[in-house]
Chain A
Amino acid sequence: GEDVEQSLFLSVREGDSSVINCTYTDSSSTYLYWYKQEPGAGLQLLTYIFSNMDMKQDQRLTVLLNKKDKHLSLRIADTQTGDSAIYFCASSGGKLIFGQGTELSVKP
Chain B
Amino acid sequence: ETGVTQSPTHLIKTRGQQVTLRCSSQSGHNTVSWYQQALGQGPQFIFQYYREEENGRGNFPPRFSGLQFPNYSSELNVNALELDDSALYLCASSDGTSGIYEQFFGPGTRLTVL
Q: Out of A43, A48, A92, which one reaches B43, CB within 8 Å?
A: A43
- Is there an interface contact between B48 and A101, defined as CB atoms closer than 8 Å? no
Interface residue B42 (Cβ < 8 Å from any Cβ of A): yes
Q: By DSSP majority rule, is chain B's interface helix, strand, loop, or mixed?
A: loop
- Is there an interface contact between B106 and A42, defined as CB atoms closer than 8 Å? yes
Give the total of B residues in contact with A, Cβ under 8 Å: 25
Which residue of A has the minimal Cβ distance to B43? Answer: A98
Contact surface of B with A, Cβ cutoff 8 Å: 4, 33, 35, 40-45, 48, 55-56, 58, 90, 92, 99-108
Contact surface of A with B, Cβ cutoff 8 Å: 4, 30-31, 33, 35, 41-45, 48, 88, 90, 92, 94-101
Name 23 interchain pairs, CB-CB below 8 A, sorted by A.
A30-B101, A31-B100, A31-B102, A35-B105, A42-B4, A42-B105, A42-B106, A42-B107, A42-B108, A45-B102, A94-B48, A94-B55, A94-B56, A95-B33, A95-B45, A96-B35, A96-B43, A96-B101, A96-B103, A98-B35, A98-B43, A101-B41, A101-B42
